[in-house]
Amino acid sequence: MNSLIYEQDILTLYVKKDKVQQVVQYYKNFGWDIVKQTNNDWFIDLMDLTFARQSKIKNKDELQLLQIYMEEKLNTQAKLENYKAPKSFMLGSSVGLLVLFLIIIGIIFITKSSFVLGTIFVFIGISIAIFVMIIIPKLYKIEKLAHDRKIRILSYQIQKICKRAVMLLGDRNEEI
Amino acid sequence: MKKFSFGFNKIRKSGHIFALKVRTESNGLGVLKTFIVLLLIALQGLLLIFSYTYFLQTFKWYFIFSLCISILCCIYVMSSDYNGQAKSLWVMFLISCFSFAYIIYFLSDKHILFARSRMKYNRIYDKIKDLQPTPDFSVITDNKAKASCKYLYNAGQFVFHTNSRAKYFSSGVQLFDDILQELNNASSFIFIEYYIIAEGILFNRIFNILEQKVKQGVDVRIIYDDMGSHGTLKRKTKKKILSLGIKLEAYNRLVPIFNIALNLRDHRKLVIIDGKVAYTGGANLADEYINEKRLHGYWKDSGIKIEGLAVDNFTISFLTQWQFITKKDVDFIPFLYRGEKFEDNGIIVPFVSGPNYLYSIAQNIYLSEIANATEKIYIMTPYFVPDETITNLIINKARAGVDIKIILPEIADKKFVYIVSRNNAEKLMQYGVKLYTMSTSFVHSKVLLTENSAIIGSINMDLRSFNQQFESAVYVNNSSILQDVNIDFDNTLQHSKWIKDKNKKRNKLYFRLLAGLFNLISPFM
């Protein structure tokens, strides 16, 4: 590895295992060839990827900038994939808790004191539950669509960056 | 990235929501050393406080004595060359906290703190004052450029050159690629002065060449700032460098003794090769400056190369610093007058600045260039903490219709300073100053561009750079360089976001309060 230092740039990445193939492909567009791939010493879901690239390449500045943009977009994409529908999940769980609370209160009222008040509570709880059961899937769908759209846009932007990188890199064997 | 797992390796997930993370090496030894130094300094601080309290109890007349000393200090401050803000702050502090404020004043005033050092520098300047011929200013037709050249000559004997050549680099990669190429051609001497020298890919590449050059008989001298390079350059590596025959000297060696002089830093970035070629700019000798290491997104930097007799300005500055550090007499003559004479390329003035000069050359030349601008003022800087003089000047220029653009980083390296910088720049927006932040990047370039000139170097737009740090830069009034710098600004603007009122950063209240406090005490720092 030491002799490589003077002619080649070395880049080491910690990559989520499910993203390894994708990352290798993306980095290839920037002239990075994978030279080592090992499991991470500390985390089971990570892999250490070592890439090498000729040190002197055409348009290195712009390639570096684009690469950093790509890294940022890849990470944003991963973040979005992890949190697919936070709003509907939050609404669903909080309303679910409210429904549960209303029904329990209702049952307590029915068994201990007022049958009418208890029935009203249970009715309201069930009504909200039915309403939420109808609305939440729709909300989830809308949210997921928006998320998927964002992810698709990011994918498109990454593809665009990669295309630009390939263009900038040109023929790697070409003399600078 | 690595965490202590207490033997339970590989049983957990990373937990981070990211697809990939670039590895950046950190030096554990640096952390330990910092801790020990800080601990020892804190112990000495405590000892000082105890001694002071004891003194206070035993000496009855102390309050009258301290009040008298504080009043004398106030008189001295009022007659000093501090700006109005600094003067009023010092006087307020000296009077309100008279029992101990004068001690802090004695410990931190650069005129007192640096008096002995300045005398040593002056002795060197007396010795070298006739090394360069007195310039003939009548050849400069542009009056604004003539005034700047006269100022730089009178302030620090920096001679202007018209028969030298300059080349602008818009990134650390371009700059260091060129440096590596020129280092390979060195035949006589190589002088290197950096704030940060960090082990890594770039370090290996450069020292591989330096090792060969020393073997060929080239005189290689390196100055690094011990504070800046603290934790990035191991003792073992320093020993290895010395064993190769490279002369290595540290500026302001970091010692665990309570010493406010450590606040002064050698922030210069200089490479001088054979007295024929010289480089300066924002980039230090470390991997992040060439984007081999990822610290704060894309690292945007810049630099300039000069060729010809203009290099002598930097050679003299380097040898002055070398003589000051080593305390050994240096013969300057063998290292001078080696540059080639090129055809007229416009004015080039390499200059340095620092607490060794009576006035802040960096601040004054910035002021003068901003004052001279009538069409545009473009500033690229990582930190924006100017004093009220520069701020007022920028406001007046913006009101006069001058196109003012300030490019700051989007990612902060020091969060607090960044918030202060953003606050300061955002305040100027109401007067018509356009503020930009470079996306996913850390802008570390230090460039001032007007329609008349450009200043490219290591000078940040902050009071530390102006007053406390040794800086290096090049003043250029060369149309092709101005054009290159302009192109770099245009390209950077393409990758930047224009901050409008609605995008103003809304910081938390405590941050805003701290930022206000920082601005208030900034003249002290």
What is the distance in angstroms between the Cα of A58 and the nearest Cα belonging to chain B?
A: 11
pLDDT of residue B31: 65
Cβ proximity of A17 and A59 under 8 Å: no
3-state secondary structure B438-503: ECCEEECCCEEEECCCEEEECCCEEHHHHHHEEEEEEEEECHHHHHHHHHHHHHHHHCEEEECHHH
For B8, name the nearest residue in chain A, comparing CA atoms only: A42
Cβ proximity of A11 and B22 under 8 Å: yes
Look at the alpha carbons of A51, A53, A58, A61 in this order and tell me if their dihedral is positive or negative: positive
Question: How do B441-443 and B298-300 pair as beta strands?
Answer: parallel
Tell me how far CA of residue B411 lies from CA of B50, B58, B171, B219, B297, in angstroms: 42, 53, 17, 40, 7
What is the distance in angstroms between the Cα of B380 and the nearest Cα belonging to chain A?
A: 18
Per domain, the residue ranges of chain A are 1-56, 58-169
Q: Is B272 helix (H, G, I), strand (E, B) or coil?
A: strand
Put simply, whether B18 touches A (Cβ < 8 Å) is: yes
Q: What is the mean pLDDT of chain A?
A: 86
Gap between the Cα atoms of B475 and B450, Å rounded: 11
What is the distance in angstroms between the Cα of B499 and the nearest Cα belonging to chain A?
A: 20
Whether pTM exceeds 0.90: no
- Taking an 8 Å cut-off on Cβ atoms, the answer to whether B298 and A10 are in contact is no
- Taking an 8 Å cut-off on Cβ atoms, the answer to whether B298 and A65 are in contact is yes
Residue B275 identity (one-letter amino acid): G
Phi, psi of B350 (to 5 degrees): -75, 135
Q: Measured between beta carbons, which residues in chain B are less than 8 angstroms from residue A11?
A: 22, 292
Tell me how far CA of residue B369 lies from CA of A85, B373, B394, in angstroms: 54, 6, 11
- Taking an 8 Å cut-off on Cβ atoms, the answer to whether B5 and A42 are in contact is yes
Q: How far is CA A119 from the centre of its chain?
A: 45
- Taking an 8 Å cut-off on Cβ atoms, the answer to whether B440 and A72 are in contact is yes
pLDDT tops 50 at residue B2:
no
Please tell me which of the candidates B13, B22, B23 has its beta carbon nearest to residue A43.
Answer: B13
- Taking an 8 Å cut-off on Cβ atoms, the answer to whether A45 and B13 are in contact is yes
Please tell me which of the candidates B5, B14, B170 has its beta carbon nearest to residue A46.
Answer: B14
Please state, for a pLDDT cut of 90, what percent of chain B lies above it.
55
For A27, name the nearest residue in chain B, comparing CA atoms only: B20
Q: Please name the residues between 46 and 65 in chain A that touch chain B, using a CB distance below 8 Å.
A: 46, 48, 56, 60-61, 64-65
- Taking an 8 Å cut-off on Cβ atoms, the answer to whether B440 and A69 are in contact is yes
Tokens describing residue B348: 């080039």
Gap between the Cα atoms of B504 and B498, Å rounded: 10
pLDDT digits (tens, 9 = 90+) for B115-125: 888 888 989 99
- Taking an 8 Å cut-off on Cβ atoms, the answer to whether A12 and B22 are in contact is yes
Put simply, whether A82 touches B (Cβ < 8 Å) is: yes
pLDDT of residue A124: 92
pLDDT digits (tens, 9 = 90+) for B471-491: 999 999 988 999 999 999 999
Q: Measured between beta carbons, which residues in chain A are less than 8 angstroms from residue B201?
A: 5, 9-10
The DSSP call for residue A2 is G
Cβ proximity of B340 and B161 under 8 Å: no
Q: Is B386 helix (H, G, I), strand (E, B) or coil?
A: coil
Among residues B412, B492, B438, the alpha carbon closest in space to that of B171 is found at: B492
Q: How many CB atoms lie within 10 A of CB A94?
A: 11
Question: Helical H runs in A83-114?
Answer: 86-112
pLDDT tops 70 at residue B11:
no
Cβ-based neighbours of B22, under 8 Å, separated by 6 or more: A11, A12, A13, A71, B293, B294
Q: Measured between beta carbons, which residues in chain A are less than 8 angstroms from residue B302?
A: none
Question: Using 50, 70 and 90 to split pLDDT, how confident is the model at B56?
Answer: confident
| Residue bearing the bigger pLDDT, B452 or B60 | B452
Tokens describing residue B301: 């930097």
pLDDT of residue A4: 43
- The owner of tokens 């307020």 is B92
| Residue bearing the bigger pLDDT, B106 or A165 | A165
Question: Using 50, 70 and 90 to split pLDDT, how confident is the model at B172?
Answer: very high
For B178, name the nearest residue in chain A, comparing CA atoms only: A56
Q: Can you list the positions of beta strands (E) in chain A? A: 8-16, 33-39, 46-54
Q: Could you tell me which residues are beta bridge partners of residue B499?
A: B435
Phi, psi of B465 (to 5 degrees): -65, -40
pLDDT of residue B5: 41
Put simply, whether A80 touches B (Cβ < 8 Å) is: no
Angle, helices B388-399 vs B415-429, to 10°: value is 30
- The owner of tokens 């909200």 is A128
pLDDT of residue B196: 95
Cβ proximity of B421 and B442 under 8 Å: no
Residue B509 identity (one-letter amino acid): L
pLDDT digits (tens, 9 = 90+) for B431-441: 999 999 999 89
Q: What is the ipTM of this complex?
A: 0.78
Gap between the Cα atoms of A141 and A149, Å rounded: 12
Please state, for a pLDDT cut of 70, what percent of chain B lies above it.
91
Give the mean model confidence (pLDDT) for residues A129-143. Answer: 87
pLDDT digits (tens, 9 = 90+) for B196-220: 999 988 999 999 999 999 999 999 9
Put simply, whether A78 touches B (Cβ < 8 Å) is: yes
Cβ-based neighbours of B93, under 8 Å, separated by 6 or more: B101, B104, B105
User: Range with the lowest mean pLDDT among A114-118, B311-315, B444-448?
Assistant: A114-118
Cβ proximity of A165 and A27 under 8 Å: no
- Taking an 8 Å cut-off on Cβ atoms, the answer to whether B20 and A16 are in contact is yes
Q: Could you tell me which residues are beta bridge partners of residue B442?
A: B299
Phi, psi of B61 (to 5 degrees): -85, 15
Put simply, whether B11 touches A (Cβ < 8 Å) is: yes
| Domains of chain B, first to last | 28-115 (no CATH), 162-346 (3.30.870.10), 361-524 (3.30.870.10)
Gap between the Cα atoms of B364 and B1, Å rounded: 44
Put simply, whether A3 touches B (Cβ < 8 Å) is: no
The pairs formed by B423-427 with CB atoms below 8 angstroms and a separation of 24 or more are B423/B505, B423/B507, B423/B512, B423/B515, B423/B519, B424/B384, B424/B385, B424/B386, B424/B391, B424/B519, B425/B384, B426/B499, B426/B504, B426/B505
Gap between the Cα atoms of A57 and B164, Å rounded: 30
- Taking an 8 Å cut-off on Cβ atoms, the answer to whether B12 and A41 are in contact is no
Best to test chain B binding among A71, A74, A151, A168 (most B CBs inside 10 Å): A71
Buried b (16+ CB within 10 A) or exposed e, B88-113: ebbbebbeeebeebbeebeeebbeeb
Tokens describing residue A71: 């890294």
pLDDT digits (tens, 9 = 90+) for B391-401: 999 999 999 99
Please tell me which of the candidates B10, B205, B292 has its beta carbon nearest to residue A44.
Answer: B10
Put simply, whether B20 touches A (Cβ < 8 Å) is: yes
Put simply, whether B29 touches A (Cβ < 8 Å) is: no
Task: Tell me which H or E stretch contains B281.
Answer: strand B277-281
Best to test chain B binding among A46, A56, A157, A168 (most B CBs inside 10 Å): A46
Put simply, whether A44 touches B (Cβ < 8 Å) is: yes
Tokens describing residue B41: 């300094």
Q: Measured between beta carbons, which residues in chain B are less than 8 angstroms from residue A5?
A: 201, 204-205
Please state, for a pLDDT cut of 90, what percent of chain A lies above it.
40
pLDDT tops 50 at residue A1:
no
Cβ-based neighbours of B98, under 8 Å, separated by 6 or more: B63, B66, B67, B70
How many angstroms separate the most distant Cα atoms in chain A?
A: 90
Please tell me which of the candidates A12, A23, A78 has its beta carbon nearest to residue B23.
Answer: A12
Gap between the Cα atoms of A140 and B441, Å rounded: 35
Q: Tally C-beta pairs within 8 A across A and B.
A: 98
Put simply, whether B7 touches A (Cβ < 8 Å) is: no
Cβ proximity of B63 and B99 under 8 Å: yes
Put simply, whether B9 touches A (Cβ < 8 Å) is: yes
pLDDT of residue B1: 47
- Taking an 8 Å cut-off on Cβ atoms, the answer to whether B3 and A42 are in contact is yes
Q: Can you list the positions of beta strands (E) in B88-238? A: 165-169, 189-194, 219-225
**Backbone conformation region of residue B354, classed left if phi is above 0, alpha if psi is from -120 to 50, else beta:** left
